Amino acid sequence: MQKTEKLYSDIPPTRLRNRKEKFRKAHNFAFWTWLADRVFFRMLSHRFYALRIKNLEAFKERRNKNYPSIIYAPHMNWWDGIVGYNLMRRSFKVIPRMMIEEMNRFPLFSFIGAFPVNKASAQEAIKSLKYIVDDLHDPNMALWIFPQGIVRPPNYRPIEFQTGLVYVAQNVAKKYGGVNLIPLAVNYTFLREDRPECLAEVGEPIILTAETSKLDRHEFTQKIQKEFEQLCDEQLQTFSKGEVTGYEYVFRQDLPWNRKIEKKLKNVAMENVEEQ
């Protein structure tokens, strides 16, 4: 009898491996940022036909620009962090901060805005949360976080948040006057091309101030996770019907000549059918 492969675990990797993790502060060194911009973009554009984003104006126009931001998204696969970095640099245009588990495997990431989180114990994890509360002082900064705290299967339901997101948000709001919470639905799918596409949809910002941040942490966590699940469900329902109206390209592959000809012939055929 063939043994079933276990693809997902409820135990965080740092707790599972129980290895000592060295804490590294996040920096933004110009050379390493320049290099990461090109390497991570090349990685994404090599594997995906396109990266699209919808409702970017919610971030650009409806957040409070006097406060830093926390962008939170689902965690489904290895590409999530690469997508997050590209969106922060190319679309949101912020100074990036990313919380990475097992960062001892990628120590250079500390040079481009990443810092580690060790979930081997609650005491170790809280060190990272306290660090980012102090560090997230610049209104041009944004923390990218996966509030589920662990990799889950695509479109896993119900979406359940750990309380770290709200802990950071409440304490940043108290310390610096306010913070923007930016929900981001992300999904990977094949549309009409031979490579998959990544679609990201920005939800409406939630602006916490020092006054409004005095909420019960668990109740507020349940509230935003419910709203986030609704955003993700609506995105899935929309593009599963073939509707991608409103999405802007962050990048799109330049098709080879034979695919361009094929595409033009298909468009001509469709126009002829519509005229009849």
pLDDT score, position 187:
96
Phi-psi label, residue 73: left if phi above 0, alpha if psi -120 to 50, beta otherwise? beta
- Within 10 angstroms of residue 220's Cβ, the number of other Cβ atoms is 20
pLDDT score, position 196:
95
- Distant-in-sequence, close-in-space partners of 216: CB < 8 Å, separation ≥ 6: none
Question: What's the mean pLDDT in 5-14?
Answer: 84
pLDDT tens digits, one per residue of 96-121:
999 999 888 889 999 999 999 988 88
pLDDT score, position 194:
87
**Residue entry with tokens 């973009």:** 41
**Domain range annotation of the chain:** 13-275
Share of the chain above pLDDT 90, in %: 73
Q: What is the CATH number of domain 13-275?
A: 3.40.1130
Question: How far is it, in rounded angstroms, from Cα 236 to Cα 275?
Answer: 32
pLDDT score, position 164:
94
- Kindly indicate the confidence band of residue 122, based on its pLDDT and cuts at 50, 70 and 90: confident
The chain-wide mean pLDDT, for the chain, equals 91
Q: What angle do CA 149, 76, 183 make, to 5 degrees?
A: 70
For 115-128, b/e burial (b = at least 16 CB within 10 A) is: bbbbbbeeebbeeb
- Kindly indicate the confidence band of residue 36, based on its pLDDT and cuts at 50, 70 and 90: very high
Question: What's the mean pLDDT in 7-12?
Answer: 86
Q: Is residue 34 predicted with pLDDT exceeding 90?
A: yes
| DSSP conformation class of 11 | S
pLDDT tens digits, one per residue of 177-226:
999 999 999 999 999 888 999 999 999 999 999 888 888 999 999 999 99
